[in-house]
Each structure stands twice: as C-alpha cells, then as structure tokens.
C-alpha cells in the first residue's frame, strides 16, 4: 500500500492526470472515501489525463449511475451510491464495461459486493484537512502492483 499526501487540490489533479496517462483498456480504478473526499475531483483529473475535451465537465453520475466520455480511450465513470442491489449491476451490464475498451472509474465500489473486480487499482481518499487529502493506493493483481510502483516514481 502506498500513501500519498495530497496537500492541495493541485496534488489531487496531478495524481489524476498521471493515472489518466498510464491507464489501458480494461483497467479499473475504485475510489473509496466519504462524501466530499474528492472521488469526483480525482475522476475529473483522470479525464484530463485521458485527453477528454476540457470543455466537457465531468459530473458525478449519481442518478444515472454511469457516464461515458470520449478520450484517448473511453472513460466509464460510475457512481454506485444509489445502487439498489447487486442484481442491478448485472441488469445494467456493468461487468461488460469492466472488460471493455475503456477505463472504468467507480465511486462507492463497496456497493459491488461479490461483483468487485479482482484486478484493480484501489484508491481510498481520507479527508485530512479542509484542503488536504490522503490517498492510499493498493494494487490488486500483479499488473497493478507493478503500476503502483510506476506511479510512485511519477508523483
């Protein structure tokens, strides 16, 4: 596990941009942390790193659960806060997105239950002050373990 101090939103944006640059099709990033932790803010920066048109504002898909954006590779942004149950995940076809041609970023991944992908980058955001956050990165699967080491050398 790697712990990063995000002392200002600028640091959060830097981390997100790096992630947006290194992700590949089929990659999954799960974002944990309480309301206001910065999960959407980090996703917006991932979008910038993916080269999504900066005029497009990335918002939390709280009611629709999923927003899709066109970047270097597609971004599938999920916010599962209002997910009603595990069956809904399958009926919405989410497992197909996980293995799709884009990168999936998931807010409130706890809601996935047994559908939690084994291979993923897990990021937990901890509120450490009004403007500061701590990001805890854990790579699940050998590929992500390697990539986490790569991220450390970039931030």
Ligand X SMILES: Nc1ncnc2c1ncn2[C@@H]1O[C@H](COP(=O)(O)OP(=O)(O)OP(=O)(O)O)[C@@H](O)[C@H]1O
- Residues making contact with ligand X (CB under 6 A): 6, 8-9, 12, 33, 35-41, 60, 107, 131-133
The residue among 77 and 120 lying less far from ligand X, judged by its C-beta, is 77
Beta strand extents in the chain (DSSP E only): 2-6, 28-32, 66-69, 75-79, 103-107, 120-127, 133-140
Choose which of 39, 77, 120, 147 interacts with Mg ion (CB under 5 A).
Answer: 39
Footprint on residues 96-115 left by Mg ion (CB under 5 A): 107
Q: Of the listed pieces 7-15, 16-24, 52-60, 142-150, which binds Mg ion according to CB under 5 A?
A: 52-60
The residue among 24 and 110 lying less far from ligand X, judged by its C-beta, is 110
Sheet holding 120-127, edge to edge: 2-6, 133-140, 120-127, 28-32, 103-107, 75-79, 66-69
The residue among 35 and 118 lying less far from Mg ion, judged by its C-beta, is 35
Choose which of 4, 19, 28, 40 interacts with Mg ion (CB under 5 A).
Answer: 40
Residue 102: exposure state from Cβ atoms within 10 A (0-12, 13-18, ≥19): buried
């Amino acid at each position: 596990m790697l712990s990063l101090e995000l002392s200002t939103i600028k640091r959060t944006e830097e981390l997100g941009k790096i992630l947006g640059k290194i992700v590949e099709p089929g990659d999954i990033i799960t974002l944990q942390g309480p309301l206001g932790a910065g999960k959407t803010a980090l996703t917006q920066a991932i979008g910038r790193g993916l080269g999504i048109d900066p005029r497009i504002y990335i918002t939390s898909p709280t009611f629709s659960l999923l927003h899709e954006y066109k970047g270097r590779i597609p971004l599938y942004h999920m916010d599962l806060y209002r997910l009603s149950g595990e069956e809904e995940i399958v009926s919405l076809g989410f497992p197909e997105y996980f293995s799709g041609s884009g990168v999936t970023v998931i807010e409130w991944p706890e809601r996935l239950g047994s559908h939690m992908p084994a291979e993923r980058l897990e990021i937990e955001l901890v509120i450490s002050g009004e403007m500061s956050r701590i990001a805890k990165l854990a790579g699940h699967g050998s590929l992500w373990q390697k990539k986490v080491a790569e991220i450390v050398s970039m931030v």
